[in-house]
Amino acid sequence: MTVLKILNIPNPRLRNKAILVKKVDDEIRKFMDDLKETCKFHDGVGLASIQVGDPRSIIFINFDEESPGHCYYMANPRITWKSDKMIESKEGCLSVPDVFNTIMRHAEIKIDYLDYNNEMRSAHFKENMSRYIQHEVDHLEGILYIDHLSLLKRKILMKKYSKILAEKSFELE
């Protein structure tokens, strides 16, 4: 397994849209394993293919509230239903490191996807899992969580992010 390089904003490749995979075969499984390795290496909750510059429609979720230790590999994830009820929570992203902000997401979703063994699955997720999956599925559409913020909140966040970046590069000198 390989730890892949994660793209950070403002890399334009984060705005690419993912392409559906035909079948979850050994090659895709190898990539899924690399996504898992990369996500765990960075202590992330989830990771999407687009974040490592790969256009194939795949996400990895390093979390399962109902069975700890279990994780999800999803190819071609498609949200088929979203609850009207919304939840508000703090989010961060491995592609926008070191900053966080509160955003609204649907409290529950239903989703179809192909699993690690190329089986078609339909699942219903609530609360945190629902949020994590919406965040990763957004990446496959070239959407970042900061896009859900108001213009003002996004401006403040970007200012903070630039400051952190500048401090980091100063430390490297």
Instruction: Point out the residues that are catalytic.
Output: 136
Nearest to 105 by CA among 66, 75, 79, 123: 79
- The answer to whether the peptide bond before residue 97 is cis (omega within 30 degrees of 0) is no
The answer to the question of residue 74 lying near Zn ion (CB under 5 A) is: no
In this structure, the strands spanning 72-82 and 86-93 are unpaired
**C-beta of 42 vs 159, nearer to Zn ion:** 42
Contact 59, 140 (CB under 8 A): yes
Smallest gap from Cβ 156 to Zn ion, in A, equals 19
Backbone angles phi, psi at 55, to 5 degrees: -80, -5
Pair of tokens at residue 136: 């990763």
Stretch that binds Zn ion, among 8-16, 92-100, 108-116, 118-126 (CB under 5 A): 92-100
How far apart are alpha carbons 36 and 32 in whole angstroms?
6
Figure out which of the listed residues 18, 21, 59, 93 binds Zn ion, where binding follows CB under 5 A.
93
**C-beta of 27 vs 98, nearer to Zn ion:** 98
The answer to the question of residue 35 lying near Zn ion (CB under 5 A) is: no
Pair of tokens at residue 100: 């966080």
The answer to the question of residue 61 lying near Zn ion (CB under 5 A) is: no
**C-beta of 35 vs 93, nearer to Zn ion:** 93
Smallest gap from Cβ 64 to Zn ion, in A, equals 18
The residue number with the shortest CB distance to Zn ion is 93
Residues that bind Zn ion (CB under 5 A): 93
